[in-house]
């Protein structure tokens, strides 16, 4: 896979992190259950790519997921617990409260890329992802793990090990895997914002189409 864009994006993301723009922010959708308490919940635990970074509100792939569920008459609510700049450590720390409050039926885990950008040891990332999945499974939630790549300037050995980590975890923990969230746009610079890291609004349907075939079999239709 051509990861030229990811090499450019690494510097841009680092600059955002240094400037404080690529940091924890509010959820892109308030995951309160209230009136929807009887509906099963899908929680999306992700980073900026799922938190609509740089996009008009309610145009990201998670919002498109809500619309597709309605179109398909699949009666689930969606809580977007994604935070820009989040790492697997952050997701791990937030999981107990999310599980207790939302009691999700499905958890989509889209984390890990920021760990690599911040130099977190791969063993730590792997341990955090495993713990997140265990926390979800202990709450009787089904899990979809979303794979990512890191920039090629990290070296081919590390790049391969990082991506293979997702497949290993999914296999060992018996969870569904989306191999690569950005599949189909990775070689299309026009599908990325100026930082060449975050997908544009036009790319969001592709992201959803990458997730949907893995997620849909886990959902119960009326």
pTM of the model: 0.85
Name beta bridge partners: 79.
43
- Catalytic: 123? no
- Catalytic: 47? no
d(Cα 200, Cα 196) in Å, to the nearest integer? 9
**Which pLDDT score is estimated for 37?**
64
- Name the catalytic one among 19, 25, 48, 115: 48
**Which pLDDT score is estimated for 152?**
77
**Which pLDDT score is estimated for 193?**
97
Query: In the chain, which residues have pLDDT < 70?
Result: 1-37, 222
157-184 tens-digit pLDDT: 899 999 999 999 999 999 999 999 999 9
**Which pLDDT score is estimated for 122?**
96
All domains in the chain, ordered by first residue: 4-18+40-213 (3.40.50.1110)
- Name the catalytic one among 47, 84, 86, 198: 198
d(Cα 104, Cα 142) in Å, to the nearest integer? 9
d(Cα 114, Cα 86) in Å, to the nearest integer? 7
Collapsing DSSP to helix, strand or coil, 103 comes out as coil
Name beta bridge partners: 42.
78, 106
- Name the catalytic one among 86, 115, 195, 209: 195
Q: How many CB atoms lie within 10 A of CB 208?
A: 19
**Which pLDDT score is estimated for 222?**
64
d(Cα 21, Cα 13) in Å, to the nearest integer? 9
- Catalytic: 198? yes
């Amino acid at each position: 896979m051509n990861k030229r864009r990811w090499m450019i994006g690494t510097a841009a993301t680092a600059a955002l992190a240094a400037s404080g723009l690529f940091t924890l922010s509010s959820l892109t959708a308030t995951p309160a259950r209230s009136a929807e308490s009887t509906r099963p919940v899908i929680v999306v635990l992700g980073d900026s790519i799922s938190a609509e970074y740089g996009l008009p509100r309610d145009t990201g792939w998670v919002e498109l997921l809500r619309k597709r569920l309605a179109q398909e008459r699949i009666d689930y609510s969606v809580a977007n617990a994604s935070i820009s700049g989040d790492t697997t450590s952050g997701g791990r720390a937030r999981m107990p409260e999310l599980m207790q409050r939302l009691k999700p039926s499905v958890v989509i885990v889209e984390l890990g890329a920021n760990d690599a950008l911040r130099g977190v040891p791969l063993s730590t990332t792997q341990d955090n992802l495993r713990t997140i999945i265990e926390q979800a499974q202990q709450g009787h939630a089904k899990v979809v793990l979303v794979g990512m790549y890191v920039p090629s300037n990290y070296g081919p050995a590390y790049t391969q090990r990082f991506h293979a980590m997702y497949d290993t975890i999914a296999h060992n923990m018996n969870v569904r895997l989306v191999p690569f969230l950005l599949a189909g746009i990775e070689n299309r610079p026009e599908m990325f914002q100026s930082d060449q890291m975050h997908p544009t609004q036009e790319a969001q349907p592709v992201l959803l189409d990458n997730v949907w075939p893995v997620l849909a079999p886990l959902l119960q239709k009326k």
